[in-house]
Amino acid sequence: MTHNTKVCNASDYQAISRSILPKPLYEYLASGTDDEQTLSENESAFKCWYLRPRVMRPVGSISTATTLFGQKLSLPVFISPAGVHALVDLHGECASARAAQRSGTLFCLSQHATRSIEQVADACANTSNLWYQSYILKDRAMTLRLVRRAAKAGYKGIFLTVDSVRFGYREADARNGWNALPEPHRLVNYDEEIAHKQPSQQKSSWLSPEASVDKRIIYSGEEDAWDQNTEQMFEQNATWDDVRWLKREACHDLPLIIKGIMTAEDAIEAVRVGADGVMVSNHGGRGLDGALAAIDTLPEIVAAVGDKVPVLMDGGVRRGTDVLKALALGATAVGIGKPVFFALAVGGEDAVVNLLHMLQKETEAAMAICGLAKVADARKMSLITRHPNGVVPRYTRSKL
């Protein structure tokens, strides 16, 4: 789908998407849970942090490049794991992965993707920028098989999402009747797991016998909102020992990042059990409403483990200044989710490339004005502060 409106920033893609997508689909992508406090504050909280521009510093050769687990990224922004990209683009996650590769950054494939682990790998020129995101399922054997498939296909790292024992309730989906994944879309990684089983293994239960999960429930629309139909797959009695288990059994040769960390205590536990990195995330405001914005949680996590492992974050990033604020607070890189869907909806793969290009150019400009030549120096230069009066003025964009 293409559109002729001039796009100048990431939010423009969302505004156009609102006008061209069916209301139930748009609100499924854009909404949060309950009162959407956390969804809103993920963005607005960035306005409560202020940059401290430094002057008379050499910025003639600025580099937005950074390194994550030995891999060089052209910008400190990557595509966070988020499922069902094919809802807005025919090529789905394949288009998003190619866009990230063209932009020189990482793409993380969701376990709930509409294109399979192998399809995405085959769609890219190589797998150097591909990571895979896993949940711990009630079916532990399937959990391991999926991660091992990603490793075999050449994916370079694993995100383990740990904040989804239950999904938050999204009232917009209930009101719009968005309670099932529309045909012909499928969560193909699970479907392929079934297809590869021997006939004797194919039983009425989708997962293992102890899981007692009927595959049809996922697509049935039995609950008012679709995520409540999928959450019954996830292990609700997981412990930190399960991180050790996954690291040992499926990704001991790959970096493992724990996604969904919102407290220092959990960050410390994640590192203690072997995580190679942590990611501050509140699931884009789609989990627990009333949780802190990700950017406000970041300093606590960096203080706890930032000297031991990389700290990533996502949630609310819409501008290059947002990227720089996160870097100044100690993040190694930041992820984007919703903006990718909206760019895909408007202009497919090329629009996602443009989205990442705009964020890179904005980040570069902000770095220059702050006297910062290298991403790695952002935290050292004391570039960020709160408002000196302790009160944040109400932010209103000027009207042209």
Catalytic residue among 252, 283, 357, 387: 283
Any idea how long the chain is? 400
51, with CB counted inside 10 A (0-12, 13-18, 19+), is middle
> Phi and psi dihedrals of 107, rounded to 5?
-125, 130
For 248, residues 6+ apart whose C-beta sits below 8 A from its C-beta are: none
Give the bridge partners for 167, in sequence order. Answer: none
185 is catalytic: no
- Residue 46 in contact with residue 27, Cβ under 8 Å? no
Q: Which of 262, 271, 265, 273 is nearest to 240 (CA)?
A: 273
- Residue 104 in contact with residue 74, Cβ under 8 Å? yes
- Residue 258 in contact with residue 313, Cβ under 8 Å? no
Cis peptide before 184 (omega within 30 of 0): yes
Q: Which of 361, 313, 366 is nearest to 335 (CA)?
A: 313
Q: Which of 235, 246, 230 is nearest to 190 (CA)?
A: 230
Q: How far apart are CA 379 and CA 337, in angstroms?
A: 24
Residues assigned a catalytic role: 283
